[in-house]
C-alpha cells in the first residue's frame, strides 16, 4: 500500500507538509506553518493537525526538508514536541532549524542528518535522491523518492535561474535521470503557473542595486526578506564596491545573516559590516542599511522608520529606499502606506514594478513545462498553489499532451492511494488547519473568531445589575460599560437613556411576577437595548447583560 | 484673492472634492465619499469635513460634478443636508445623483442644472468650459474654470480611449483651446502615472467577451462594476449576438442599468433581458448573467454564488465566470477567494491578467504627457493619487521640461493661494476625513477605533463584584464574562482560577485598609489578571473590572 497525503491550509494544497506512507513506514516531507487568513482576527499562525502522525508514531521514520522557509520548517517545534522524529535537510536549512529549535529548547533532543544536494539518502525503506534547485533561499532541494510502486518526484519550491548568484545551477540532470527511470507521480510547485515565460535571474536585482547606488548621493536603505541570502549578498557586494559600510536592522535579518555567514553561504568583505550606532558617524554616501519591513509589517524596522517611530534611524531627505520585494497578497495596503510615508519624508523610493528590484522564487510557465518534460510523470499533483493554480496547471500540462484524468485535483487531507500504476483518492484525514493564538493551539474556535469579528465591527456593551437573591429587588446598578461602540465620555445621555430603559424593563417584569426568571430578564434587556441602540446609532454592539445575586 | 483647496482622505489628495474660492464666491468641484482604510474597523464610509463650507454658506454658488462615481458624488447627501446648494452635472451623472438623493428624501429640495459636455456654464462669477473625457463611466467631463487670476483646468478622472464604445472621443480640442489661452493651474488625475504607455481601449474587453462566448457551452456569468455602463453594453451586445438572454443580479447593477437605459446610455435589444427566475427555463447556452461582486465583496451576488449561498443561482460545472475587473487595492484576498471557490465548483473562471477582461479608467503615462502638452499649464496639482503618484508625476512632467518648483505637492486641506501668476501654500483647513459608522458621523474617535483593534486581537474580559457601600464587604461575585478571548464553555478552570485571584487581591487589600479605594482595587485586579492570563494563554484581552456598590 502506498499513500500520499498532501496537507495544507484553507486554500493551498500540499504546501506545508506531505505525508508519504508505505505499509508500515511514514516519511514526512516538510513541516511548515501558514499565515492566518484576513478574517482570522488575532490569530498568530496556523499549523496542521498532526494527530494522524502521532497516532502512528511508531511508523514515522523522519522528516525531510526541501528548504529553510517558514512555510516549510516553521511548524517543526509543534511536531517535535509530540513526536521526536529525526530530521534530514541541507546545511543551511538545518542551520535555520537549529535556531528555531533552540528558541523552543528542543535543539538538544533533535536528531539531524545533513544532506549534501546530489547525494542519495535512505530513510526507513525509502531511498531518496536529492537534487539542488534554485529558489529565493539558498540550498533548496527537490526529491526523488523511490517507493515500491514507483518514483515520486517532489520539486520543493523551485525555479531555474540561468545565472544564479552562488553559481549553483538547478540539477537538471538529476531530474532527467529520474524521468528516464520512469516517474509515477510529480508533486510540483505551481505558485507562478499564471505567469508566462521564465523568472528573470536574481542577478538583474544586483544590476538594479548597482544603478541605484551609482546615482544615490546619501544613504541607501534596502528592505528585503531576511531569508533571501542571495539578495543580501548582492546588496553587501554592491555596497562594498561603492565603498559603503553596511548596517543590519531587524532581528530576523541579523539572525539570518549571522547563520548564513557562519555556514559560508554569505560572504561579507572585511570591514564592511558596521553596528547600527556607527551609522551616525559616517556620511550618507558611506552607508547602506539592510532592513526588514519589505512587507510593510507594522512593527518592522522600515515601517517604524516610515512612521518616524524608529529609535535609531530617522529617514532624511535625499535618502534612497529600495523595497526589494513584492507584497505578499494581503499586504498591498501596508506596503503602499509605507511607500507613501517614505515619499512624504523626502526619500526617493525605488519599488516594483517601476524598477526591477525583485524577482520571484517560483518557476514561471516555461520552467513548469521544462520540469514536466524532464520528469515526464504518469500523474501530477500540483502543490503550493490554490485552486486557480491547480486549474491553470492542468491546462498547461494538458497542452503538453498529459491526459486530463491524470492531473490530481486534491483537497488538503485527501488520501491518494497508488498501486499498480493507478491513483485513486481513497478517503480523507483531518489535517487541520489549526489556529495558534499566543500559547493556545487550536483553542480559538470559530465562536471566538466570530466574536472577535463582531467586536471589531461595533464593539461591546456590558450592563450589570445586582439583585437581592430572595426578593429579586435591584440593589445596585444598572451599571453600563462599553468599549469600541461609542466614546463613553461623550455619550452620557445615550448611556443614561439606556439605563432608564433597563429600569423600565425590570419594573414591568417585577410587577407581574415576583422574583423574575433572570434568563428571561437578560434576554429582554438584550433585545430592548439592541433595538434602542440600532435606532439611535445605526450600530449593533454585542450586548452582555449580567445579573449578580447578593 | 483666489484659493484652491483640495480635500481628500488619509493618503489621497484632492480626489473627492476641490474648493475654488475667489473673493466672496466659492465653487465646489465634486463631492465624493471615501472607503475606510483597513484599520478603520467597523467604519462604513469616510467623508470630508464640510465646516469650512457651512461657515461660508452665503458664499457657496454651487457644486459641479465631473462624473457619477461614488468617490465623486457619494457625499452629496451629507453636504446637502446642511447646505442646499445647486448642482451642475451631465445627464447620466445627475441621473445617478437623483437616485441617491431620493433614498435620503433630498431629491425634491435639490436644484439641478444639466450640462451638455462642450457647453460653457456660468456659476457665480465663474465661467466654466466643459470638455467630454473618457472614463470607466459614461458622460464624464473635464473643466476649464475661468478665474480672475487665470484658467484652472480640472481633468476629472480621465483617459483617452481611441475607440470608445459610445463613439464619443475625449474633447482634445477643448483642452488644447484652453492651453492656447494660457492655463494657470492644471489639476490632473494621476492614478496610473506608474504605468507606461496608453490604457488599452475598452473595446478589447468586448473582443474578449466575444472569444469567451464563442467557446462557452453553458451559462456565462459576468461580474463587473455596476457603473461601468460601456462594459455592460458590450456584455449585452455580445449576448444578443450569440442569441443569449441576459439576467441582471445585484441591487446596484439593476438600478444602474435601469437609469442608464432610461436616459439612453444603454441600449438593450428587445427581448434580450429576462428576469432572474426565467434563467431556470432556459438552456445554459441561452443565458448570460450580469452580476455585482467583481471585488469579492462578501454579501455580493457573485460571492454568494461562489460560497453556494445564493438563493436563486447555483454555479454548475461548465459555467463560465468572467471577473471583468481588477481588485481595488485591499480586495485582492477576497477576489482570490472567490476565484478559488468558483474553480472548486467546476466553473471555468476567466480573469485578469490571464485574459484581457478589464481596462482601467485612468490615463497611463503617455496620456498624462499628452494632457500636459495640450494644456501646458504654469502649475500642476496632481490629484486622485497618493504620495507615490505625486512623486512619479513630478518626475514625468519634469522630463517634459516643467520646472520642479511648479509641481504642487500638497496635503489634503492645504490652501493654495494664486495671485499674479504665482502660487503659495498659505495655511490649512481641517477638511477631515470624518468616519461614518451607522448613523454616527464623526463620533467614532481614535479611542473607539483603538478599542476595536484591541478587541479584534484578543477579545475582552469583564470581572464584576458587588460590595456593600459602607463596609466594603463583597456581597456578590466575582462574576466573569468574556468574549473573543477564550471559549468560555471550555475554559472553566481558567476562569475559576481568575476568580480565586480576584478574591485573594480583595482580601489582601481589605486586611490592611477597611473600605478600600475602589479605583486602586480595579487597577490591581486589572494588572494581576492581565499578568495571569498572559502567563497562561499568551494573550492580552482587554480587562474591565466593575465594582458595584449596594
In B, which residues are within 8 Å of A388 by CB distance?
A: 336, 339-340, 343, 349, 351
A483 touches chain B (CB under 8 A): yes
Cα separation, A209 vs A199, in Å, equals 18
Cα separation, B406 vs B393, in Å, equals 12
Kindly state whether residues A68 and A189 are assigned to the same domain: yes
Task: Give the residue-averaged pLDDT of A166-175.
Answer: 96
How many C-beta neighbours within 10 Å does residue B433 have? 25
Does the pTM exceed 0.80?
yes
| Residue labelled with grid coordinates 538529476 | A174
Instruction: Give the residue among B81, B390, B430, B274 at the shortest CA–CA distance from A344.
Output: B390
In B, which residues are within 8 Å of A323 by CB distance?
A: none
Cα separation, B298 vs B399, in Å, equals 44
* Band (B513; pLDDT cuts 50, 70, 90): low
At A224 the pLDDT is: 97
Q: Between chains, do A476 and B457 touch, taking CB under 8 Å as contact?
A: no
Cα separation, B316 vs A355, in Å, equals 43
pLDDT tens digits, residue range B83-100? 999 999 999 999 999 999
Which one of A161, A189, A414, A458 is the catalytic residue?
Answer: A189
At A419 the pLDDT is: 95
Name the minimum distance, in Å, from the CA of A148 to any CA of chain B: 33
Dihedral angle sign, alpha carbons of residues B225, B226, B227, B229: positive
Kindly state whether residues A167 and A189 are assigned to the same domain: yes
Q: Measuring CA to CA, how many Å separate A375 from each of A177, A292, B46, B79?
A: 8, 38, 55, 66
Kindly state whether residues B185 and B222 are assigned to the same domain: no
Candidate from A351, A454, A459 with C-beta closest to B451:
A459
Across A103-112, B237-246, B378-387, B445-454, the highest mean pLDDT is recorded for: B237-246
A38 touches chain B (CB under 8 A): yes
Q: Name B465's Cβ contacts closer than 8 Å, sequence gap at least 6.
A: B474, B476, B477, B478, B479, B502, B506, B545, B546, B547, B548
Q: Which of A9, A195, A215, A391 to mutate to test the interface with B (most CBs of B within 10 A)?
A: A391
Task: Give the residue-averaged pLDDT of B165-171.
Answer: 96
Structural domain ending residue among the three candidates A394, A409, A441 = A441
Q: Between chains, do A387 and B337 touch, taking CB under 8 Å as contact?
A: no
Q: Between chains, do A42 and B483 touch, taking CB under 8 Å as contact?
A: no
Q: Are A97 and A76 in contact (CB under 8 A)?
A: yes
Percentage of chain B with pLDDT > 70?
99
* Burial profile A275-292: b = 16 or more Cβ within 10 angstroms, e = fewer: eeeebeeeebebbbbbbb
Give first-to-last CA distance, chain B, whole Å.
66
Q: Name B341's Cβ contacts closer than 8 Å, sequence gap at least 6.
A: A387, B306, B307
Active site residue B98: no
In A, which residues are within 8 Å of B459 by CB distance?
A: 42, 448, 451-452, 455
Active site residue B362: yes
Residue-averaged pLDDT of chain A:
94
Higher pLDDT among residues B472 and B410, named by residue: B410
pLDDT of residue A312 exceeding 70, the answer is yes
Q: Between chains, do A546 and B481 touch, taking CB under 8 Å as contact?
A: yes
* Burial profile B509-537: b = 16 or more Cβ within 10 angstroms, e = fewer: bbeeeeebebeebbebbbebbeebbeebb
B38 touches chain A (CB under 8 A): yes
pLDDT tens digits, residue range B411-445? 899 999 999 999 999 999 998 889 999 988 888 88
Name the residue range of residue B243's domain. 203-351
Q: Between chains, do A388 and B343 touch, taking CB under 8 Å as contact?
A: yes
Candidate from B343, B448, B544 with C-beta closest to A481:
B544
Structural domain ending residue among the three candidates B386, B418, B437 = B437
Residues 3-22 of A with CB under 8 A from B: 11
pLDDT of residue B512 exceeding 70, the answer is no
At A488 the pLDDT is: 78
DSSP letter, residue A10: S
How many C-beta neighbours within 10 Å does residue B269 have? 12
Q: Between chains, do B476 and A466 touch, taking CB under 8 Å as contact?
A: yes
Q: Are B261 and B255 in contact (CB under 8 A)?
A: no
Kindly state whether residues B10 and B135 are assigned to the same domain: yes
Structural domain ending residue among the three candidates B437, B472, B490 = B437
Task: Give the residue-averaged pLDDT of A376-393.
Answer: 92
CATH number reported for the structural domain that contains residue A125 in this entry:
3.60.15.10
At A38 the pLDDT is: 82
pLDDT tens digits, residue range A99-111? 999 999 998 889 9
| Residue labelled with grid coordinates 535555520 | A96
Task: Give the residue-averaged pLDDT of A370-388.
Answer: 93
Identify the bridge partners of residue B62 per DSSP, sorted by sequence position. B27
pLDDT of residue A396 exceeding 90, the answer is yes
Kindly state whether residues A265 and A168 are assigned to the same domain: no
Which DSSP helix (H) or strand (E) runs through B174?
A: helix B172-181
B331 touches chain A (CB under 8 A): no
Residue-averaged pLDDT of chain B:
94
Cα separation, A412 vs A16, in Å, equals 10
Kindly state whether residues B170 and B231 are assigned to the same domain: no
Sheet holding A245-249, edge to edge: A273-274, A245-249, A287-291, A220-223, A320-323, A348-351
Q: Between chains, do A464 and B464 touch, taking CB under 8 Å as contact?
A: yes
Cα separation, B129 vs B119, in Å, equals 6
Name the minimum distance, in Å, from the CA of B209 to any CA of chain A: 19
Candidate from A460, A464, A537 with C-beta closest to B546:
A464
Kindly state whether residues B318 and B212 are assigned to the same domain: yes
At A33 the pLDDT is: 93
Q: Between chains, do A332 and B329 touch, taking CB under 8 Å as contact?
A: yes
Cα separation, B170 vs B125, in Å, equals 27
Cα separation, B175 vs B459, in Å, equals 56
Candidate from B456, B481, B548 with C-beta closest to A476:
B548
Q: Name A339's Cβ contacts closer than 8 Å, sequence gap at least 6.
A: A323, A349, A351, B387, B388
Range of lowest pLDDT (A2-6, A35-39, A363-367, B102-106): A35-39
Candidate from B11, B353, B487 with C-beta closest to A448:
B487
Candidate from B447, B452, B477 with C-beta closest to A548:
B477
pLDDT of residue A96 exceeding 90, the answer is yes
In A, which residues are within 8 Å of B502 by CB distance?
A: none
Task: Give the residue-averaged pLDDT of A247-260.
Answer: 95
Name the minimum distance, in Å, from the CA of B311 to any CA of chain A: 23
Candidate from B456, B466, B536 with C-beta closest to A41:
B456
Q: Name B364's Cβ contacts closer than 8 Å, sequence gap at least 6.
A: B159, B192, B195, B196, B197, B198, B199
Kindly state whether residues B61 and B162 are assigned to the same domain: yes
Kindly state whether residues A177 and A266 are assigned to the same domain: no
Q: Which of B318, B327, B452, B480 to mutate to test the interface with A (most CBs of A within 10 A)?
A: B452
CATH number reported for the structural domain that contains residue B269 in this entry:
3.40.50.10710
At A10 the pLDDT is: 66
Instruction: Give the residue among B131, B178, B183, B196 at the shortest CA–CA distance from B368.
Output: B196
Task: Give the residue-averaged pLDDT of B499-511.
Answer: 83
Instruction: Give the residue among B174, B172, B228, B239 at the shortest CA–CA distance from B202.
Output: B228
Kindly state whether residues A437 and A450 are assigned to the same domain: no
Which one of B189, B414, B458, B505 is the catalytic residue?
Answer: B189
Nine cell digits for residue A12: 493551498
Ramachandran area for residue A376 (φ above 0: left; ψ -120 to 50: alpha; else beta): left
* Band (A328; pLDDT cuts 50, 70, 90): confident
Kindly state whether residues B220 and B246 are assigned to the same domain: yes
- Angle (deg, nearest 10), helices B229-241 and B251-262: 90
At B56 the pLDDT is: 97
Kindly state whether residues B18 and B88 are assigned to the same domain: yes
pLDDT of residue A11 exceeding 80, the answer is no
* Band (B452; pLDDT cuts 50, 70, 90): very high
Q: Are A318 and A346 in contact (CB under 8 A)?
A: yes
Nine cell digits for residue B202: 475598452
pLDDT of residue B10 exceeding 90, the answer is no
Cα separation, B18 vs A396, in Å, equals 50
Q: Between chains, do A462 and B458 touch, taking CB under 8 Å as contact?
A: no
Q: Name A500's Cβ contacts closer than 8 Å, sequence gap at least 6.
A: none
Domain count, chain A: 3
How many C-beta neighbours within 10 Å does residue B217 have? 12
CATH number reported for the structural domain that contains residue B499 in this entry:
3.10.20.580
Maximum alpha-carbon separation in chain B: 89
Amino acid at each position: 500500500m502506498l499513500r500520499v497525503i498532501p496537507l495544507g491550509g484553507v486554500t493551498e494544497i500540499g504546501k506545508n507538509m506531505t505525508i508519504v506512507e508505505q505499509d508500515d513506514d511514514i516519511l514526512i516531507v516538510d513541516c511548515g506553518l501558514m499565515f492566518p487568513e484576513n478574517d482570522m482576527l488575532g490569530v498568530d499562525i496556523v499549523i496542521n493537525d498532526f494527530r494522524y502522525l502521532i497516532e502512528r508514531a511508531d511508523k514515522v521514520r523522519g522528516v525531510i526538508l526541501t528548504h529553510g522557509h517558514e512555510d516549510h520548517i516553521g511548524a517543526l517545534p509543534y511536531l517535535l514536541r509530540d513526536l521526536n522524529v529525526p530530521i534530514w535537510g541541507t546545511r543551511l536549512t538545518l542551520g535555520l532549524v537549529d535556531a528555531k529549535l533552540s528558541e523552543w529548547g528542543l535543539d538538544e533532543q533533535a536528531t539531524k542528518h545533513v544532506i549534501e544536494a546530489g547525494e542519495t539518502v535512505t530513510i526507513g525503506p525509502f531511498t531518496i535522491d536529492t537534487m539542488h534547485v534554485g529558489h529565493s533561499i539558498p540550498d533548496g532541494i527537490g526529491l526523488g523518492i523511490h517507493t515500491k510502486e514507483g518514483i515520486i518526484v517532489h520539486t520543493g519550491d523551485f525555479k531555474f535561474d540561468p545565472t544564479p548568484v552562488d553559481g549553483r545551477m538547478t540539477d537538471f540532470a538529476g531530474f532527467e535521470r529520474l524521468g528516464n527511470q520512469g516517474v509515477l507521480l510529480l508533486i510540483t510547485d505551481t505558485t507562478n503557473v499564471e505567469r508566462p515565460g521564465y523568472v528573470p535571474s536574481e542577478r538583474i536585482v544586483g544590476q538594479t542595486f548597482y544603478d541605484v547606488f551609482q546615482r544615490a548621493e546619501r544613504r541607501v536603505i534596502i528592505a528585503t526578506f531576511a531569508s533571501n541570502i542571495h539578495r543580501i549578498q548582492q546588496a553587501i557586494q554592491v555596497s562594498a564596491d561603492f565603498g559603503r559600510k553596511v548596517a543590519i536592522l531587524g532581528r530576523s535579518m541579523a539572525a539570518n545573516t549571522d547563520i548564513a555567514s557562519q555556514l559560508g553561504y554569505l560572504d561579507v568583505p572585511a570591514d564592511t559590516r558596521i553596528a547600527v550606532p556607527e551609522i551616525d558617524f559616517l556620511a550618507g554616501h558611506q552607508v547602506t542599511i539592510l532592513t526588514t519591513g519589505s512587507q510593510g509589517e507594522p512593527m518592522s524596522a522600515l515601517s517604524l522608520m516610515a512612521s518616524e517611530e524608529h529609535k535609531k534611524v530617522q529617514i532624511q531627505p535625499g535618502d534612497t529606499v529600495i523595497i526589494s520585494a513584492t507584497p505578499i497578497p494581503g499586504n498591498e495596503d501596508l506596503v503602499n502606506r509605507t511607500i507613501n510615508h517614505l515619499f512624504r519624508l523626502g526619500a526617493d523610493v525605488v519599488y516594483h514594478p517601476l524598477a526591477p528590484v525583485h524577482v520571484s522564487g517560483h518557476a514561471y510557465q516555461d520552467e513548469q513545462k521544462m520540469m514536466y518534460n524532464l520528469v515526464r510523470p504518469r500523474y501530477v499533483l500540483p502543490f503550493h498553489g490554490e485552486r486557480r493554480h491547480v486549474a491553470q496547471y492542468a491546462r498547461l500540462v494538458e497542452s503538453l499532451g498529459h491526459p486530463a484524468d491524470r492531473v490530481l485535483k486534491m483537497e488538503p487531507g485527501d488520501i491518494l492511494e497508488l498501486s499498480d500504476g493507478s491513483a485513486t483518492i481513497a478517503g480523507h484525514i483531518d489535517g487541520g488547519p489549526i489556529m495558534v493564538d499566543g500559547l493556545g493551539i487550536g483553542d480559538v474556535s470559530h465562536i471566538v473568531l466570530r466574536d472577535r469579528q463582531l467586536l471589531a465591527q461595533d464593539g461591546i456593551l456590558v450592563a450589570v445589575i445586582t439583585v437581592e437573591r430572595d426578593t429579586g429587588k435591584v440593589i445596585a446598578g444598572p451599571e453600563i460599560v462599553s468599549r469600541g461602540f461609542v466614546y463613553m465620555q461623550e455619550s452620557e445621555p445615550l448611556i443614561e437613556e439606556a439605563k432608564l430603559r433597563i429600569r423600565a424593563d425590570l419594573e414591568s417584569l417585577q410587577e407581574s411576577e415576583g422574583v423574575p426568571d433572570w434568563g428571561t430578564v437578560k434576554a429582554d434587556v438584550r433585545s430592548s437595548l439592541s433595538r434602542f441602540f440600532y435606532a439611535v446609532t445605526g450600530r449593533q454592539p454585542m450586548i452582555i447583560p449580567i445579573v449578580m445575586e447578593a
